[in-house]
Amino acid sequence: LQQRRGFRLSAPAAIQVTVRDALNQALDEELERDERVFLLGEEVAQYDGAYKISRGLWKKYGDKRVIDTPISEMGFTGIAVGAAMVWLRPVCEFMTFNFSMQAIDQVINSAAKTCYMSAGSIAVPVVFRGPNGASAGVGAQHSQCFAAWYGHCPGLKVVSPWSSEDAKGLLKASIRDDNPVVMLENELLYGVPFEMSEQAQSKDFVVPIGKAKIERQGTHVTLVSHSRPVGHCLEAAAVLAKEGVECEVINLRTIRPMDVETVEASVVKTNHLVTVEGGWPQFGVGAEICARIMEGSAFNYLDAPAVRVTGADVPMPYAKILEDNCIPQVKDIIFAVKKTLNI
């Protein structure tokens, strides 16, 4: 009626939300929605989480829904997997995914394989979540990306958010999924604010697992990334646009199952491919993308070899200047794009 009378209605209200707050919202909404959901991990309850992701949830939901555990990843991960087998929906937090190595037998041999080995009669709806990849100044034992590790394993779904909408939507989708899901967050993104649409603020908002998102349209080269390097790709694309190079930036969002169709369609359009990740090069996510493109019909559209931008093939150094040189930077992406386009 207002539109008929000539009034211009305001656009849907978008707000700035940090990744930390988006994850907190997702947990709060899913704990409220389904009484089978509970959160467990080190310091998640009374301390509000090591990174304050679970802030306020223990006071709201109590000891049975938000559970502090001892420093024993194998123990509390086993509790989470066992609870999932009897149709609870645990969210198991690792203070860092480097510590998930203590519990990898529970994640791989118990969670990932049980549905298959039981001929589908036992589902394991558990979410393993926490910070993944390089942080800042924490050395080699706390700076690995596990996307390729867990993406290698059938039976798991693996998601890797970049923005606040990614974080909220993927966590909610993961909690509702009947399969074990590994959610690889990034510590350096927790405090970063992103615009969140009105739709994403809804309690019904989810991001479908297995669907990538085109963050920027382009015509000259396809950049495919996940997690924090998506932001680096967008920065590189903005710089290259000033030189007349239009990059299409794809936010993978899900590592397994991988949305190869979106990447293929982009490569058919741009005829060039660069993958960007923080993990090591050998057997990495970029290597898998390149293999999928080579094996599919999009290979016929490539005008140059695909190029990978990855972390350095060394354990992460502690010194900041060495650490910076081990992690893909915007300049590295720009160099790779120009190499691919031969400019």
164-176 and 19-33 helices, crossing angle to 10°:
30
Full-model pTM: 0.93
Mean per-residue pLDDT, 254-269: 98
Residue of 298 and 8 predicted with greater confidence: 298
Q: Which residues of 186-201 are buried (b: 16+ CB within 10 A; e: fewer)?
A: bbbbbebebebeeebb
- Asked if the model's pLDDT at residue 24 lies above 80, the reply is yes
Q: Do domains 16-201 and 213-341 have the same CATH topology?
A: yes
Using a 10 angstrom Cβ sphere, with 0-12 exposed, 13-18 middle and 19 or more buried, the burial of residue 113 is middle
CATH number of this structure's domain 16-201: 3.40.50.970
pLDDT band for position 14 (50/70/90)? confident
How far from 297 is each of 22, 260, 291, 293, CA to CA, in Å?
38, 11, 12, 7
Rg of the chain's alpha carbons, rounded to an integer?
21
Q: Write the DSSP symbol of residue 110.
A: I
Task: For 101-159, write each residue's pLDDT tens digit.
Answer: 999 999 999 999 999 999 999 999 999 999 999 888 888 888 999 999 999 999 999 99
Q: Which pLDDT score is estimated for 213?
A: 98
3-state secondary structure of 75: helix
Given 30, 142, 232, 264, the catalytic residue:
142
Per-residue pLDDT tens for 63-95? Answer: 999 999 999 999 999 999 999 999 999 999 999
pLDDT given for residue 222 in this prediction: 98
- Is the pLDDT reported for residue 10 higher than 90? no
Predicted confidence (pLDDT) at residue 6 exceeds the cutoff of 60: no
Residue 12 vs residue 233, higher pLDDT: 233
Q: Give residue 7's pLDDT.
A: 47
pLDDT of 1 strictly over 70: no
pLDDT in the model for residue 138: 87
Residue 270 near residue 220, CB atoms below 8 Å: yes
* pLDDT score recorded for residue 315: 94
Are 222 and 133 within 8 A, CB to CB?
A: no
Give the type of residue at 18: T
278-301 pLDDT per residue, tens: 999 999 999 999 999 999 999 999
Burial class (CB in 10 A: 0-12, 13-18, 19+), 102: middle
Spatial separation of the C-alpha atoms in residues 202 and 227, rounded to whole Å: 23
Is 272 considered catalytic here? no
- Give the per-residue pLDDT at 341: 97
Q: How many residues does the chain have?
A: 343
User: Domain ranges in the chain?
Assistant: 16-201, 213-341
Structure tokens, 282: 């050998």
Q: Residue range 194-203: average pLDDT?
A: 94
73 is catalytic: yes
Q: Is the pLDDT of residue 2 over 50?
A: no
In the set 30, 73, 264, 277, the catalytic residue is 73
Checking if the pLDDT of 9 tops 70, the result is no
pLDDT at 36 over 80: yes
> In CATH terms, is domain 213-341 a member of 3.60.15.10?
no
> What is the spatial distance between Cα 303 and Cα 88, in angstroms, rounded to a whole number?
50
Looking at residue 160, the DSSP 8-state letter turns out to be: -
pLDDT averaged over every residue in the chain: 95
